[in-house]
Amino acid sequence: MKKNIGFIGLGIMGRPMTLNLLKAGYKVTVYDINKEAIEKLVAEGAKGAASPKEVGENSDVIITMVPNSKHVREAVLSENGVAKGAKAGSVVIDMSSITPVASKEIAKELSEFGIEMLDAPVSGGEPGAVAATLSIMVGGKEEVFESVKDVLQAMGRDIVLVGANGCGVTAKLANQVIVNLNIAAMSEALVLAAKAGIDVEKMYQAIRGGLAGSVVLDAKVPLILDRNFVPGGKISINLKDITNVMETAHSIDVPLPLCSQLLEIMHALKADGKENDDHGGIVQYYEKIAKVEVRREQ
């Protein structure tokens, strides 16, 4: 018998992830502070809830996909939170990107209600959420992971138990370092090529099969050339993630000089009104300084 699923956070990622759970045959109860987001998923076959507590009451497994640690805590531990409605033995899967410290604290507090927790952040952005091909990095008990693996498989493809509680979000921080620094390095190269006057698209085709090639390069360069910064992963969300990276790194004495520069670049983009652009929009920081625009040749 399939588990009853709850899903809290129906934004760019949460909505397609919920749709994939519905496609897989799960009964899904949904909640978001945006009532319109709930209504749209109810029209697709989900059941709407008036609060996270009500989601907990109706679910065996409750997934949270919200912006930061504060929102996760509110969703699961507030007066109207999941823990006040869920039965002992339920599992909370937090698929948000928060700090390891906060994740471990929330898991400990949920355990006092008899509720298990996995931290299971994702990589793959909106395209991966839509296609159910997300990479999912999981932290928690192995037996809890095995008990909900079928649920995760409805949303992702590469699903790995990295270690105990907090290990999944730590892996996600490492992922965000690699992805966002990759975008920044790529942006420098694209702006250099554009200012030098070569056809950037042809350059991209020339280098993508070599060592400079990457999933990031193939995902972002075509969008940049089209000047398409519609967010799959907003600069604001990645700014939050890199802030968490630096906070975590400083707490364990790990210097990250490249990330510290990247954080300032993201703050500059936020100050310039670009925070809701896709993180491929990091290129705009370099374009502004170099007074050039990377775009497809007409």
Residues of the chain with pLDDT under 50: none
Q: Is 49 left (phi over 0), alpha (psi -120 to 50) or beta?
A: beta
CB neighbourhood size of 146 (10 A): 10
- Give the pairing of strands 122-123 and 156-163: unpaired
Q: Is 289 exposed, middle or buried (0-12, 13-18, 19+ CB in 10 A)?
A: exposed
Predicted local confidence at residue 232, as pLDDT: 84
Q: Give ranges for CATH 1.10.1040.10 in the chain.
A: 170-290
Predicted local confidence at residue 234, as pLDDT: 92
Predicted local confidence at residue 63, as pLDDT: 98
Predicted local confidence at residue 233, as pLDDT: 87
- Is the pTM higher than 0.85? The answer reads yes
Residues annotated as catalytic (active site), given as ranges? 172
Show Cβ contacts of residue 284 under 8 Å, excluding neighbours closer than 6 positions. Answer: 229, 269, 272, 274, 277
Q: Where do runs of H (alpha helix) occur along the chain?
A: 14-23, 35-42, 52-57, 69-77, 100-111, 125-131, 142-153, 167-196, 200-207, 215-225, 235-251, 257-271, 283-290
**DSSP H or E run through 290:** helix 283-290
- Convert the pLDDT of each residue in 205-233 to its tens digit: 999 999 999 999 999 999 999 999 999 88
- Give the pairing of strands 122-123 and 134-139: antiparallel
132 in helix, strand or coil?
coil
Which CATH number does 4-164 carry? 3.40.50.720
Q: Please, what CATH class does the domain formed by 170-290 belong to? A: mainly alpha
Predicted local confidence at residue 239, as pLDDT: 96
> DSSP label at 83?
G
Q: Give ranges for CATH 3.40.50.720 in the chain.
A: 4-164
- Convert the pLDDT of each residue in 69-116 to its tens digit: 999 999 999 999 999 999 999 999 999 999 999 999 999 999 999 999
